Amino acid sequence: MIPDGLVAVVKRACPTCELVAPVLGELDVTVYSQDDPTFPDGLGARDDRDLEVSFALGIDTVPTLLRVEEGEVTGRVEGWDRARWEAFTGTTGLGAGLPEWRPGCGSRTHDPEVVDQRLVAATLGHLRARQVELGAAEDEIEAMYARGWSDGLPLVPPTPERVARMCAGTTRAPGDVVAIVPPDLVECTVEKVAINAVMAGCRPEYLPVVLAALEAACTDEFNIHGLLATTWFSGPLVVVNGPVTRAIGMNSGVNALGPGNRANATIGRALQLVVRNVGGGRPGGVDRATLGNPGKYTFCFAEDEAGSPWESLAAERGVPAGTSAVTLFAGEGVRGVVDQLSRAPESLTRSFAACLRTVGHPKNVFIWDAMLVVSPEHARVFREAGWTKARLRDELHAALQLPAEELVHGAGGIAEGMPEWLCEPGSTLAKFRDGGLLIAHAGGGAGLFSAIIGGWASGAVGSEPVTREVGA
């Protein structure tokens, strides 16, 4: 119980607190010390090393002088200011010989270690996951692999303290259900996501992005169950837009689709681990990919919005400006597009179209979706010509109207292709369905290379791209 009257909060490690110690001796004041209960000497300071009083009083700076009436704080003065202290206490002549003003020091309540300890302590009591006890001779990394939790790479041990810190990365409660995760249709809480995010190597500030990605993955439209069960190569690709990409340091530039950035690498991995460990989607079980692809470890990048000549992928999909979002796409591996000679948008568009025709198979149409990731040097060609993204997509659509006689079974001596009933002589068929070609902007500023990420079976028979806003 904090007594009524004047109350001061100080710490010995603060030079201004040392300065005003004699002044406190001139007042009828209850003193709480954050770091040394013997300070100030001879004043009978109360011990607040556990900071319970400081947190209760909302102390930001020491020294702080407060007035408490009937248990409520009715006024406060921070730092040392002779005139304000005299007016506040109704006492004149305070601190003779002292400077008129000195700023205070930061309260220990804002020390990163203290804040972390309190967050952990506050969250630990809300964790419900069963703790696995390891034998004294067991190696943590090997034990997690042996229990089948790993994607084949080493995992970070999800200790209660690490999980509590991860949970602090969101305002959502640890017990909140985020999604029902296929294929086993298991309720997945924030805590379970946090456990897998720890194992993946995420930082707490990445957790809201992982939560949004999981929500998107577990929609009927995205169909993560079907994506797991198919023998095709694809897995979930996460494209991130908005302020969160800068806040957590994601890579949208050089090597954006490759290794080296912690956020890019671990956000995608965390999603995959949740699907594996919570939903039961393990390779060789429900995951039946004939070959798979390295992107099934992790596949995540940020779009370069600042350098793009176009609206972002998220904005195209209805996300308000300034809002962070993730878009999930059922993506196979990355295939490169090289065109170092085209300086006209028409020529570069034809290059893109020629390469896009090979998605799935050159003789298959509207079965597969695709994402075209345009690099800055290629994007410059379209910027200088004044082409919008809508025009580029329209021109690609026109260039990908393919002659039916080239697509029919057996054409070109290739049995693969489209059925005869669909291939009316003299007609054309579109390579991609409406909405089946996504366009994003990313990559380093040097290199006339872009990328195609082929999709899986499109629409109702397969997967739709899904976008979700990133919450707090």
Q: Do 106 and 176 reside in the same domain of the chain?
A: no
- The domain total for the chain is 2
* Predicted pLDDT at 52: 92
* 403 found inside a domain: yes
Percent of the chain with pLDDT over 90: 93
Q: Do 293 and 345 reside in the same domain of the chain?
A: yes
For residue 134, the 8-state DSSP code is P
Q: Do 94 and 191 reside in the same domain of the chain?
A: no
Stated pTM of the model: 0.84
CATH code: domain of residue 29: 3.40.30.10
* Predicted pLDDT at 113: 87
- Among the candidates 71, 93, 110, a domain finishes at 110
Q: Do 158 and 34 reside in the same domain of the chain?
A: no
* 131 found inside a domain: no
SS3 of residue 377 by DSSP: helix
* Predicted pLDDT at 126: 87
Q: Do 311 and 436 reside in the same domain of the chain?
A: yes
CA distance 356 to 418: 17
Please name which of 114, 139, 125, 132 lies closest in space to residue 175, comparing C-alpha atoms: 125
* Predicted pLDDT at 125: 84
Q: Do 246 and 340 reside in the same domain of the chain?
A: yes
SS3 of residue 295 by DSSP: helix
* 135 found inside a domain: no
* 74 found inside a domain: yes
SS3 of residue 70 by DSSP: coil
Q: Do 268 and 320 reside in the same domain of the chain?
A: yes
- Among the candidates 60, 94, 110, a domain finishes at 110
Question: Contact 227/236 with Cβ under 8 angstroms?
Answer: yes
* 123 found inside a domain: no
* 260 found inside a domain: yes
* Predicted pLDDT at 118: 82
Q: Do 9 and 153 reside in the same domain of the chain?
A: no
* Predicted pLDDT at 390: 97
Instruction: Count Cα atoms within 13 angstroms, Cβ side, for 144.
Output: 21
CB-CB neighbours of 434 under 10 Å: 9
* 197 found inside a domain: yes
CB-CB neighbours of 432 under 10 Å: 22
* Predicted pLDDT at 117: 84
Q: For the chain, which ranges sit under pLDDT 50?
A: none
CA distance 151 to 168: 25
Q: Do 104 and 158 reside in the same domain of the chain?
A: no
Residue 190, C-beta contacts closer than 8 angstroms, at least 6 positions apart: 167, 170, 172, 173, 174, 175, 176, 178, 207, 211
- Among the candidates 92, 110, 128, a domain finishes at 110
* Predicted pLDDT at 116: 81
* Predicted pLDDT at 124: 85
Q: What is the largest CA-CA distance in the chain?
A: 103
DSSP string, 23-51: HHHTS-EEEEESS-TT-STTS-PEE-TT-
Phi, psi of 245 (to 5 degrees): -65, -40
Question: Contact 428/402 with Cβ under 8 angstroms?
Answer: yes
Q: Do 40 and 144 reside in the same domain of the chain?
A: no
The parent domain of residue 67 ranges over: 5-110
Per-position b or e across 356-386, b if 16+ CB within 10 A of its CB: bbebbebbbbbbbbbbbbbbbbbbbbbeeee
> Per DSSP, what are the bridge partners of residue 188?
179
Q: Do 85 and 164 reside in the same domain of the chain?
A: no
* Predicted pLDDT at 112: 87
Question: Contact 372/303 with Cβ under 8 angstroms?
Answer: no
Question: Contact 52/27 with Cβ under 8 angstroms?
Answer: no
Q: Do 344 and 214 reside in the same domain of the chain?
A: yes
* 116 found inside a domain: no
